Chains A and B, each alone.
Chain A
Amino acid sequence: SQTIHQWPATLVQPVGSPLSLECTVEGTSNPNLYWYRQAAGRGLQLLFYSVGIGQISSEVPQNLSASRPQDRQFILSSKKLLLSDSGFYLCAWSLVREGRTEAFFGQGTRLTVV
C-alpha cells in the first residue's frame, strides 16, 4: 500500500531563517505531488505541484520554492522566512486511476514563524 511521510510535524522558526520541509511517498511510482498551505481557519491554498522529477508548477508568487530531486521526494524551501509564512503545510500525492485523481495527504507540518 502507498504511504506518505512528511516531517517535521511542528516547527518554530525565527523570521529570516531558512526552511526545508520534506515529503516522501512509498509504494507507488511517478505520483503527482503537491504542496498546500492552510492558514488558521482558512482553506487549502495550492502552492506547488509536480508531475515528474524536476517539473515544478507554481500557483502563487511567494517566498517559497519547491524541488523534486527524486521521483518520490518533494521538498518545500525558503531562504528567508516571513511572519506570513506561518501555517499548516500539507504534502499530498495522487495518481490518475480510471479517469479520477484522488489525493492523499501527509500529516502536515505546523510552522510558526516568530
Chain B
Amino acid sequence: RKEVEQDPGPFNVPEGATVAFNCTYSNSASQSFFWYRQDCRKEPKLLMSVYSSGNEDGRFTAQLNRASQYISLLIRDSKLSDSATYLCVVRVDYKLSFGAGTTVTVRA
C-alpha cells in the first residue's frame, strides 16, 4: 500500500466553482501534513500546512481527519491561476512522503 494516495483527477472546473479533493495516508504515526502546489515542469511549492483543527488561507481550506487518516483541500471561487497539480505531503519523523498529485484545471 502506498504511503500517500491521491485521486489523480483531473478535475476540470469553471472559474468561480468550488473544487475539493482528498488524500489518504497509511501511517497512523504521521505527524505533520501539508499541501503543495506544482506547476508544469516546475518545483513544488508549499501551499499550506494542515492543522488538526482545520485551517483556511484565503480561498483555500484544509482539513485533517486523523481517525480516518485523510486530509482534504477545498478551493473556493476558483481562478484560472489555480490550475496546477496539488500534492499531499505527510511527515513521519524526518521523512516527507508525497502523493502523486491531483490535477486541477480551471477553465474560463
Please say whether chains A and B are actual partners in one complex. yes
Give the B-binding residues of A (Cβ under 8 A).
32, 34, 36, 42-44, 46, 49, 51, 57, 59, 88, 90, 92, 94, 99-108, 110
Q: Smallest CB–CB gap between B97 and chain A, Å?
A: 7
Interface of B is mostly: strand
Q: How many residues of B contact A (CB 8 A)?
A: 21
Report the separation of the CA atoms of residues A13 and B87 in the bound assembly, to the nearest whole angstrom. 29
Q: Quick check: is B98 within 8 A (CB to CB) of the other chain?
A: yes
Give the A-binding residues of B (Cβ under 8 A).
31-32, 34, 41-46, 49, 87, 89, 91, 94-101
Interface of A is mostly: strand
A94-B96, A100-B32, A101-B91 are known contacts. Are A43 and B44 too (CB-CB below 8 A)?
no
A101-B32, A107-B43, A108-B43 are known contacts. Are A36 and B94 too (CB-CB below 8 A)?
no
Report the separation of the CA atoms of residues A66 and B100 in the bound assembly, to the nearest whole angstrom. 23
Tell me if B94 and A32 are in contact (CB < 8 A). Answer: yes
